[in-house]
Amino acid sequence: MDFYELLKNTPPFSGLADERIRECVPYLTTEDYLKGTYIFRQGEPHQEHMFFLLSGLVEILLVGDHGEERAVGLLKPGDFFGECLLFTDSYPTTSRTVEESRCLLIPEVCFEDLKSDPDFVGFFSHALAERMRYVYQEMAREQNWPLPWEPRHYRRRLYEIMSSPVVTCLEEHRITEVAQLFAEQEISAVVILDRNGTSRGILTAKDLVRHVLAASDFERQARRSAAALMNEKLVLLPPEAHIYEALLAMMRNQVRHVLVENQGLLLGIVTMGDLVRAQHLDVLRTVDAVERAPSIEDVAARMPDIDRVMGDMVSGDASSEEICTLVTEFYDRVTCRLIRMVEAEMLSEGKGRPPTSYCWLTMGSGGRREQVLRTDQDNALIYDDPQPGEEEKTAAYFLELAGRVVAGLEQCGFRPCPGKVMASYPDWCKPMREWFPTLKKWTLDLNPQMLRLMSIFLDFRPVYGQFAMAHSLRRYVFQRLEKAPVVLHFMARDALSRKVPLNPFRQVVTERSGPHKDQLDLKRAVLIHIVDAVRLFALRDGLLETSTAGRLRQLVDKETLPKDDAEAFQVAYDSILMLRLRLNLRRMAEGKTPSNYVSPRKLTRRELAMVKDAMMAVSRLQKFTGVTFRVEGY
């Protein structure tokens, strides 16, 4: 190939003197790339040369926080890429060949004395800027991703999320008047002011219940003033404070509300719910520490931080959904960090990069975003179909990668699954083309073992890599269920084979023997029944949502479940999940291992009544499920 003629006829080199072009020619080389080859990856240091596509096609990919890749551009012969050589130290995007391609490599030495040429550099600067503008606009429009140059969620200001105006009352107002405000405004707190308009205290709905509604002398308490019952411990922040400062203040002061004031003027109020709704899911600096952790040991060292956050949120009366959302984000970040570490380790050991695209799935309670405690692992790995002859090598790579990630998760407190439902085993780590027949087999061979594997798998959620692979599996699942609706009948029959341990006299039935004699398994007694039943309706209705709370809301929207019943099921689920979490946080504080078991005798009268009410709600849900899916005996 005549490199001189090529450059002479290609802007911006065509604007250079012939002598300058000839000086560059001896340094030029070509490189051939097979289909699916990553030429460079986002975040990697530049390779000290620019690329000019001679033949083939190259796609530009943007990689999200969880490793998912989105194609946002396509390069054709005659296009330059890797222009960041002139401007930055690392690549802002990833490039991968769509078909066999050949590139001309133009080394950095060719640009040494041209970096001061405004016309020459301006060509590449403009091209790069236009490409990146298009990339991020497309991502924002089509994928609804946050733009990389915008502030992260924890950098948002309180004035952006606060509720305003604040509902207030005077110190001398009676509790009955305050209660009326709660009923009319549907709020979680009232700020108490003196006659000068200065904030003196706060009264929350929880305070009202604890000090008044639950009091034995209810009538006397109801006649007291707001000042008599208010909490004088106020946490004040200016409107320009960041979200993470509010969460930090809440954690340190064990409160759930922060007042936003400016020079003594009350502007707004921020609650724990506001922070979660504002997608402040970084758990302060803990996530940042995880992202920067140099080793698995350092990641594991951050895990107690999330336990402390959970304890603070439970003490602050956060809802189970708020806690699950926050903790799930943290666990997802941990998983992603471990995967990236393992990829880097294997590369440094000479084992190369991942030979194909892949996707890491979490399943079970993790897939439902309900794994608040670090219990057993349930995960899987899907990878793109390898080239002919590369099957064994590709399988070996991903099994090793998965094995190291699983071991890392174990170091972080996630126990190995006793049933070996983990990506470190071949049954749960295989190419896309083998997943489809596996799913088909599960829907044809409807024995109890297969049904339970399906129950674990069908709550899957992509965490890292190519999310499109997971979406393809989800579509196939719905296709199979549409062709074989009898699967849901068998799943329902299997789920309903386990009854709620409550006898006709509303007495809790405990274990009769063994290490847990006279104890109750909260997970199997209540939680799993709600999860199983709600999953069945979600699958029948083709819902993509995997969380139990989210599924219940969508089932109400679709009029599959009556709103009142769905609320009762959600309350039952929340109450037992929170009881289990509180008990286990207490156990962990005592240095004990978390457990699903509890002795009913050690529960308070109120807790025991709550457990029984939850079981009654589950019985209603099971009856409704049995009738809907035509299970014998219902």
pLDDT one-digit tens code per residue, 581-617: 888 888 888 888 889 999 999 888 878 888 988 899 9
Q: Please write the tens of the pLDDT for every residue from 373-394.
A: 888 899 999 999 999 999 999 9
Query: Average of pLDDT values for 480-507?
Result: 90
Whether residue 101 contacts residue 133, with contact meaning beta carbons closer than 8 Å, is answered with: no
Does residue 474 sit in the same domain as residue 343?
A: yes
**Average pLDDT score, the chain:** 86
Does 282 fall in a domain? Answer: no
Last residue in a domain, options 143, 176, 195:
143
Mapped onto helix, strand or coil, the DSSP state of residue 432 is helix
Does residue 523 sit in the same domain as residue 457?
A: no
Does residue 133 sit in the same domain as residue 176?
A: no
User: Which of 3 and 323 is assigned the larger pLDDT?
Assistant: 3
Whether residue 193 contacts residue 171, with contact meaning beta carbons closer than 8 Å, is answered with: yes
410 pLDDT band, cuts 50/70/90, is very high
3-class SS shares of the chain: helix, strand, coil, % to 5: 50, 15, 30
Does 507 fall in a domain? Answer: yes
Structurally, the chain folds into a number of domains equal to 4
| pLDDT value, residue 277 | 64
The DSSP call for residue 93 is S
Whether residue 190 contacts residue 167, with contact meaning beta carbons closer than 8 Å, is answered with: yes
Q: List the single range of 53-67, 415-429, 488-502, 565-579 with lowest mean pLDDT.
A: 53-67
Question: Can you give the residue range of the structural domain that contains 345?
Answer: 298-484
Here the CATH number for the domain that contains residue 434 is 3.30.460.10
DSSP per position, 574-628: HHHHHHHHHHHHHHHHTTPPP-SEE-GGGS-HHHHHHHHHHHHHHHHHHHHHHHH
Q: Is the pLDDT of residue 138 over 70?
A: no
Does residue 234 sit in the same domain as residue 165?
A: yes
C-alpha–C-alpha distance, residues 254 and 492, integer Å? 43
Rg (CA), the chain: 29
Does residue 217 sit in the same domain as residue 273?
A: yes
pTM: 0.65
